[in-house]
Amino acid sequence: MNHDAYDDNYIRSILNNVKSIAMVGASPVNVRPSYFAFKYLAQRGYDMIPVNPGHVGKALMGKPFVASLADIDRPIDMIDIFRNSSHIMPVVEEALKLSPLPKVIWMQLGARDDAAAEKAEAAGLKVVMNRCPKIEYGRLSSEISWMGVNSRTLSSKRAPIPTQGMRLSLNRTSFGGGQTAASDRAAKNKTETT
C-alpha cells in the first residue's frame, strides 16, 4: 500500500463498508476537529463510539465515552485515531488484541506511524494515514465541493438531493488516484526538509 497517495477506490471501499467506528481521542469540546468529525460521521449513519479515558461518565451526541478499546461491548469495524503520531503505536497494539479484529486503522490528518501501519497490515487490517474521514466522505460524495474544494471526481449523472444523513453517492468517476500531484510534492518536500 502506498501511504503517500491512496486510490479513491481504496478510501471509498472503506467508508462504504465499515459500520461501526471507535474514535480514539474523541473530544466533547465542540471546537475540536475530533468533535466535528464525530458528529459528521454520526449524522452519516455510522455507529460511533467515543474513546477517551479522560471523559468516562460523559457522552458525545448521546454516545457514552469508554476508557479503552477493550471496554467496547461490540465488534468494531474501524478505529479512527485522533492522536499525535507518537501515540499511535500503543493504540494499534491494543486494537490488535481485540476479538474479532477491527478491519481498518485510520490515522487522522497530521498523524502517521509507518511501523504501526506495517504491524496492522501484517495482521490483515487496512490502514489509512494522515487523512480525515469527514473530508474524504465529503470529497467522494461531492458534498465538500460546496466549499470550492477539488473533489477530483466527475459525474454526468443527476446529483442526489443532499440531506443530513445521506450515504455516499458512488456513481462518480474518480480521477488522479489518491492525491493531487501538489500534495504528493508537499509530502516529498516535507520529507526532504526534515
Partner 1 sequence: MTDRLPGFSTLAVHAGAQPDPTTGARATPIYQTTSFVFNDADHAASLFGLQAFGNIYTRIGNPTNAVLEERVAALEGGTAALAVASGHAAQLVVLQQLLKPGDEIIAARKLYGGSINQFTHAFKAFGWNVAWADPDEIESFERAVTPHTKAIFIESIANPAGSITDIEAIAAVARKAGVPLIVDNTLASPYLIKPIDHGADIVVHSLTKFLGGHGNSLGGIIVDAGTFDWSKDNKYPMLSEPRPEYHGIRIQETFGNFAFAIACRVLGLRDLGPALSPFNAFMILTGIETLPLRMQKHCDNAKAVAEFLSTHPAVSAVNYAGLPGDKYNALQRKYAPKGAGAVFTFSLKGGYDAGVNLVSNLKLFSHLANVGDTRSLVIHPASTTHSQLDDAAKVKSGAAPEVVRLSIGIEDKEDLIADLDQALRA
Residues that bind partner 1 in the complex, under the rule CB under 8 A: 7-9, 30-31, 33, 35-36, 39-40, 109-110, 132, 135, 138, 142-152, 154-164, 173-177, 180-183, 185-186, 189-190, 193
Q: Is the CB of 72 or the CB of 109 nearer to partner 1? A: 109
- Shortest CB 14 distance to partner 1, Å: 15
Q: Is the CB of 68 or the CB of 145 nearer to partner 1? A: 145
Q: Is the CB of 99 or the CB of 193 nearer to partner 1? A: 193
Q: Other CB atoms closer than 10 Å to residue 99's CB: what's the count?
A: 5
Total count of residues recorded for the chain: 194
Q: Is the CB of 65 or the CB of 82 nearer to partner 1? A: 82
CA distance 91 to 120: 11
- Shortest CB 30 distance to partner 1, Å: 7
State the DSSP code for 177.
Answer: S
- Shortest CB 67 distance to partner 1, Å: 25
CA distance 26 to 33: 9
- Shortest CB 101 distance to partner 1, Å: 26
Q: Is the CB of 55 or the CB of 131 nearer to partner 1? A: 131
Q: Residue 100, preceding bond cis, omega within 30 degrees?
A: yes
CA distance 47 to 105: 16
- Shortest CB 127 distance to partner 1, Å: 18
Q: Other CB atoms closer than 10 Å to residue 3's CB: what's the count?
A: 18
Question: Cα-atom radius of gyration of the chain, to the nearest Å?
Answer: 17
Q: Is the CB of 119 or the CB of 152 nearer to partner 1? A: 152
CA distance 110 to 132: 9
- Shortest CB 78 distance to partner 1, Å: 19
CA dist 20 → 50, 74, 78 (Å): 11, 9, 6
